[in-house]
Amino acid sequence: MTRFRGTTAGAVFVIAAVACVASAQTIAPPSGATLAATCTGCHGPAGHSAGAIPSIHGRTEADLLQAMLDFKNDRRPATMMNRHAKGFSDEELATLAREIAANWR
């Protein structure tokens, strides 16, 4: 990119636009680890709760996904989880369930 310095304003604009597209394309969707980091503040490190909020480690992927989808679709009563689960796409909830089941023993 450096070699384009000093060209016309128009060329600089084109380069900037290309750079924007490039960065948009190279930002990956949130990983399982990033999604799971939104859980640990309440459910504890690796899902080991320190208090009244349920621990969520050691569960199967299927159970976790079902629970989160039920919270999201208001099929399961909750004080808080129905509000949180609606913040994620179904695909993200699947990634989350896979991440937690695989890593939170």
Partner 1 sequence: MARKGITRRLFAGAALASIPVASMVQAQPARRRVVVVGGGFGGAAAARHLRLADASIDVTMIEPKSEFQTCPFSNYVLAGFKTMADITHGYGALTGRHGVTHVRDMAAAIDPAAKTVRTAGGQTIAYDRLVVSPGIDMRWGALPGYDEAASAVLPHAWQAGPQTTLLRAQLEAMPDGGVVVMSIPGNPFRCPPGPYERISMIAHYLKKSKPRSKIVALDSKDAFSKQGLFQDAWKELYGPMIEWVPLGQDGKVVQAIPGEKTLVSEFGQRHRGDVVNVIPPQMAGRIARDAGLAATEGAMAGWCPVDPFTFESTRAKDIHVIGDASIAGAMPKSGFAASSQAKFVARAIAASLAGGPQEAPVYANTCYSLVAPDYGISVADIFRATPNGIVAVQGAGGVSPRTPKDAAQFRDQEAHYAEGWYASATKEIWGS
| Interface with partner 1 (CB under 8 A) | 1, 16, 19-20, 22-23, 26-31, 33-35, 37-38, 40-45, 49-53, 79-80, 83-88
Q: Which is nearer to partner 1, 16 or 62 (CB)?
A: 16
C-beta of 94: minimal distance to partner 1 in Å? 15
The C-alpha atoms of residue 7 and residue 13 are separated, in whole angstroms, by 10
Phi then psi dihedrals of residue 70, to 5 deg: -65, -40
Q: Which is nearer to partner 1, 10 or 24 (CB)?
A: 24
The C-alpha atoms of residue 73 and residue 69 are separated, in whole angstroms, by 6
